[in-house]
């Protein structure tokens, strides 16, 4: 079997553009992939077309050879954009393999450990930045059956907040905890925006509300500072979504300061590298909570990984809170029932793209 063509498609909605890919083969089997990166969908599209000539004619089963051709052999490091272009093709190749063998991807990665994966809600708090609005929005999440939710209470903070704004941020956390009760897991997102001292002070103020984690309190670019915060924080720190190499994870996990890692399959170059990161984390007694703030193909990828990774913790889910038409873009749809994503059981990723829907919602 040989790769004969790669066709990227940019799909737009009010949240972000998604970069979806179709990879065709000479056997007539095609696979679907995704390479969504915030703001840079067109840039990733161009990168995929740049890589196409390097992988045309390759066997889609030869994942390692394909990764080397797209990463090592270009003698450059394009970070997340490069990783996303590689991931789009690599994910489609796993889809092709599964379809050719009539097996879901998780069967190719070691076999199923669970048929549904616990999810936490994200994207639910596009409301006024008041305790009352956040509590009401959280109530809606609970009514959908979620037992975990993530939110960023910090507004437009950068490096530090004023005393008033920091108090407001903490009041939002307090309101959500009061509404959710003690049994629901809360994940607090910071988007890497704080300085060292601010991050540690806020971590201390979060502690009474027992968050499941404090996510990227400082930038991922300085792993030493990030692990220093994690080591001193009274609440668990989670990070990793912005990394684009397994070596970054190896450095992060050295010393045992971080016990929750969040690989983003798109940034890392796809499924295989993410599975390798999960193994690294397992060896370091860390759990894996895949980052999944992209489109429906990434949701299917995260579910397939969640089905087979022993140290899986919880999966991010935006799907329920996106625009209604996006849930019809793949079939069968990504189902979230009682706060769990049902793992697709069909061959490959277990979902197919509605290409007519892609055309209707093209951002061109």
Residue numbers annotated as active site:
191, 291
The helix or strand, by DSSP H or E, that contains position 167, with its residue range, turns out to be: helix 163-180
- The neighbour count for residue 310, using CB atoms within 10 Å, is 11
Distances (CA, A) of 231 to 21, 64, 172, 239: 40, 35, 25, 13
Distance CA 148, CA 164 (A): 28
Give the closest residue to 364 by CA, choosing from 17, 15, 7, 14.
17
Q: At what angle do helices 79-101 and 41-55 cross, to 10 degrees?
A: 60
3-class DSSP state for residue 5?
Answer: strand
Contacts of 222-230 spanning 24+ positions with Cβ under 8 A: 223/248, 223/251, 223/252, 225/196, 226/252, 226/258, 227/252, 227/255, 227/257, 227/258, 228/196, 228/257, 229/196, 229/199, 229/200, 229/203, 230/257, 230/258
Distance CA 284, CA 21 (A): 34
């Amino acid at each position: 079997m040989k790769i004969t063509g790669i066709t990227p498609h940019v799909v737009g909605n009010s949240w972000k553009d998604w970069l979806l890919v179709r990879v065709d083969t000479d056997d007539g089997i095609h696979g679907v992939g995704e390479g969504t990166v915030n703001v840079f969908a067109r840039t990733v599209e161009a990168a995929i077309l740049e890589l196409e000539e390097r992988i045309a004619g390759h066997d889609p089963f030869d994942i390692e050879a394909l990764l080397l051709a797209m990463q090592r052999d270009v003698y450059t490091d394009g970070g997340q954009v490069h990783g996303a272009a590689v991931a789009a093709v690599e994910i489609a190749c796993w889809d092709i393999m599964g379809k050719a063998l009539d097996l879901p991807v998780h069967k190719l990665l070691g076999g199923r450990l669970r048929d549904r994966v616990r999810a936490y809600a994200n994207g639910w708090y596009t409301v006024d930045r008041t305790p009352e609005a956040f509590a009401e929005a959280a109530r809606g999440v609970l009514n959908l059956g979620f037992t975990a939710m993530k939110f960023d209470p910090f507004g437009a903070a950068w490096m530090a907040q004023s005393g008033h704004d920091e108090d407001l941020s903490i009041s939002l956390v307090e309101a959500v905890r009061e509404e959710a009760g003690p049994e629901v897991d809360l994940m607090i997102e910071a988007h890497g925006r704080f300085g060292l001292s601010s991050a540690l002070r806020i971590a201390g103020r979060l502690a009474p509300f027992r968050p499941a984690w404090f996510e990227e309190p400082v930038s991922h670019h300085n792993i030493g500072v990030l692990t220093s915060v994690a080591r001193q924080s009274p609440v668990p720190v989670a990070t990793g979504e912005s990394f684009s190499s397994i070596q970054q994870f190896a450095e992060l996990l050295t010393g045992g300061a971080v016990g929750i890692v969040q690989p983003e399959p798109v940034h890392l170059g796809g499924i295989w590298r993410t599975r390798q990161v999960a193994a690294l984390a397992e060896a370091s007694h860390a759990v894996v909570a895949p980052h999944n703030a992209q489109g429906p193909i990434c949701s299917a990828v995260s579910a397939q990984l969640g089905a087979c990774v022993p140290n899986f913790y919880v999966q991010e889910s935006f799907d329920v809170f996106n625009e209604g038409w996006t849930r019809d873009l793949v079939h069968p749809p990504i189902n979230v029932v009682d706060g769990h994503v049902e793992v697709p059981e069909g061959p490959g990723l277990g979902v197919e793209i509605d290409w007519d829907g892609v055309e209707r919602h093209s951002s061109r």
